[in-house]
Amino acid sequence: MARGGSGVRNGAGGVRMVDAEPAARKIRETFQAKPVQKTYPMRFSWPRHVKFMGRGRAAIYWSDKWGSEDVYKHVAEATQDVYVANGYKIEDEYGTVHLPGRLFRVENGMPRHFAILGECLGLQVTLQNGGTVQLEVPDAHWGAARHSDGNLILFLYDAGGIRFLIVGDELDVEKDGIVG
C-alpha cells in the first residue's frame, strides 16, 4: 500500500487529496488475501487534467499474490472509461496517437493513499474511432484507490506519475483480482 504526505498537492492549483488509508489498506489486503506488512510513500499526485481515450478492454498484469510467475488478464466485464493524463504521449508504430475531444479537470478530493496491485504488462483499449490498441508502458504498475464517493479508480503509473485512469460503475478489486 502507498500513502501520500499530508497536504500533498499536484503543483500550484493542483488536485486536493484526502485521506484514504483505510480504503487503500482494505483493497490491498483483499487483493493479497493477507494483512498489509508495509506502506510506501505516494511519490506522485493526480493529474490535473485528463482526456477520454476510449473503453477499457483488458488490464494485463503480473502479481506475486499467489506466489507464482503467472500473468493475469482482467477482461472488462462492464463499461470502463479510460482516460490518459494530459501531456502523456501515446506512441504506436506510426507515431504519436492523437485523441479527439476535450480535456476533463480531475476533481478535488482524490485519494491520497492507494493499493499497489502489480506490474503492468499491458492495457487494451477500444478507441473512440473504434480501433483497438494494446499499450505497454515500460516499468509501469497498476494501482487502485477508492474515491470519496466509494467508486474504485484503477490507474497505471510509472516513475513519472499517473499515466492512465480507469473508472467504471462495476470496477472493483476482489481476492481473485481486478473485477467488473
Q: How confident is the model at residue 10 (pLDDT cuts 50, 70, 90)?
A: very low
Determine the Cα–Cα distance for residues 9 and 29; give it in Å rounded to an integer.
Answer: 27
Helix (H, G, I), strand (E, B) or coil at 21: helix
Q: How confident is the model at residue 158 (pLDDT cuts 50, 70, 90)?
A: very high
* Grid cell of 61 as nine digits: 498484469
* Grid cell of 130 as nine digits: 473504434
Euclidean distance between the first and the last CA atom of the chain, given in angstroms as a whole number: 22
Determine the Cα–Cα distance for residues 103 and 92; give it in Å rounded to an integer.
Answer: 22
Domain segments of the chain as ranges = 2-179
Mean per-residue pLDDT for 74-101?
A: 87
> Is the pLDDT higher at 75 or at 12?
75
pLDDT at residue 48 greater than cutoff 60: yes
Give the number of residues written for the chain: 180
Mean per-residue pLDDT for 92-97?
A: 78
pLDDT for residue 5: 38
> Is the pLDDT higher at 3 or at 99?
99
pLDDT at residue 13 greater than cutoff 60: no
Rg of the chain's alpha carbons, rounded to an integer?
Answer: 15
pLDDT at residue 153 greater than cutoff 80: yes
pLDDT at residue 8 greater than cutoff 50: no
> Tens digits of per-residue pLDDT, 55-68?
999 999 887 776 77
Mean pLDDT of the chain: 84
Q: In Å, how far are 84, 135, 136, 141, 154 from 91, measured between CA atoms? A: 13, 9, 10, 19, 22
pLDDT at residue 164 greater than cutoff 60: yes
> Tens digits of per-residue pLDDT, 135-145?
888 899 999 99
> Is the pLDDT higher at 45 or at 167?
167
pLDDT for residue 90: 84
> Is the pLDDT higher at 14 or at 18?
18
pLDDT at residue 105 greater than cutoff 80: yes
Could you give the residue ranges of the DSSP H alpha helices within the chain? 21-32
